[in-house]
Amino acid sequence: MTSQLNITVAGAGYVGFTLAAILAEKNIVRVLDIDHDKVRRINSNKSAIEDTGINEFLLSKKIEMTATIDQKESLSHADYVIIATPTNYDPSSNSFDTKSVEDIIKSTVQINPKCSIAIKSTVPIGFTAKIKEQYPDQIIFFSPEFLREGSALNDNLNPSRIIVGCFSEQAKVFADLLLDATSKQNAPVLFMGSSEAEAVKLFSNTYLAMRVAYFNEIDSFTIIKNMNAENIINGICLDERIGNFYNNPSFGYGGYCLPKDTKQLLANYEDIPQNLIQAVVEANNTRKAFIAEEILKKNPTCVGIFRLTMKKDSDNFRFSAINEIIDVLSQKKIKMKIFEPTLSKKIYMGIEVCSNLSSFKNDCDLVVANRNSDDLNDIQHKIFTRDLFDEN
């Protein structure tokens, strides 16, 4: 059990906000973010994200959490600064854009050089070691997160493991801090070097992407060969070595993490011999192109895009596989309409966004859904989906 600490979490996305929420039960937590709307919602005891159970958690727990856009206010008294800002993949540099992480570290060193800095943002392998060379007197370490969009709170409360890329006393206190905030007090805790911890994150996500790509390629095979994909996948996954999980076909792996993490790992290989990592990246592009062609084969008059989000119970559609399928259909001059209730815009990617589900279903002769929904039960004859198991 750790004593109460002052903690600043930089970044109010899935990782940062859910982590801040569970830590705020027993600590004083400040959330630092540049989004004024998120700051306002947090200070009104409302969730900054769409996530299963998060609003109930905020209402049922006595938490001490505030939010601000002011760096000095949030960083000055922190014992720990946890960085959970986004690191998008930049194709021009073939690497993550770590500027937001570096900026927070620089500000923290200037404002509060005695605190410890924990990086939760996903970074290239070797990043933490290099940044520590710039600030040798500052305690800086990497601690990966393993969360799923839409269930980040539950994953933080019930972690598969806690990994800290450092052996210092501050790192051990941080691990205890995370463990103390969970509902799973026996979660495995591993300490290792910073580069090893960074590698765990990228290799873990690339394995998951590989698994998605594998079952998607089984599904592609069954479409062409006119076979039953569900029977084949069920038969494969009864082997306990393979397991009945993460096997539901989709339009391709997407969301914020898997596409960028696989590309970053591939870039980290540089001159190291490999075939598999390259194949994982390429397989996803092949799958999305294949799905687009299958849609075109149906000669639709108007294609309805049902939801842009990759997963149910999520409001995030950054890098969703459907975006690239929309691109292909647009290039072929296919008329489309989009139904996405989390989107306030009337136009997305040059396509009309419908707010009325009934009108959307009536206007489209083919409705494309990465994940099926009870809302579509009355038009199953119009649906194009590869969702076999009703799972994310």
pTM: 0.92
What's the pLDDT at 256?
Answer: 76
Residue 196 and residue 163: Cα distance in Å, rounded?
Answer: 10
Choose among 279, 274, 287, 357: nearest CA to 322.
287
- The two tokens of residue 86 are 């986004």
What's the pLDDT at 312?
Answer: 72
pLDDT band with cut points at 50, 70 and 90 for residue 319: confident
pLDDT band with cut points at 50, 70 and 90 for residue 255: confident
Burial degree of 6 (CB within 10 A; 0-12, 13-18, 19+)? middle
Check if 364 is active-site. Answer: no
Answer whether 39's CB lies under 8 Å from 45's CB: no
- The two tokens of residue 224 are 């062409």
For the chain, domains (ranges, CATH) are: 6-192 (3.40.50.720), 229-384 (3.40.50.720)
For 180-189, the pLDDT digits (tens) are: 999 988 999 9
Choose among 385, 217, 216, 208: nearest CA to 307.
385
The radius of gyration of the chain's CA atoms, rounded to the nearest angstrom, is 22
Q: Chain-wide mean pLDDT for the chain? A: 94
Phi, psi (rounded to 5 degrees) for 383:
-85, 135
For 279-306, the pLDDT digits (tens) are: 999 999 999 999 999 999 999 999 999 9
pLDDT band with cut points at 50, 70 and 90 for residue 315: low
Answer whether 68's CB lies under 8 Å from 31's CB: yes
For 117-148, the pLDDT digits (tens) are: 999 999 999 999 999 999 999 999 999 999 98
The answer, yes or no, to whether residue 234 has pLDDT greater than 70, is yes
For 5-44, the pLDDT digits (tens) are: 999 999 999 999 999 999 999 999 999 999 999 999 999 9
Q: Which one from 115, 166, 257, 364 is the annotated catalytic residue? A: 257
pLDDT band with cut points at 50, 70 and 90 for residue 149: confident
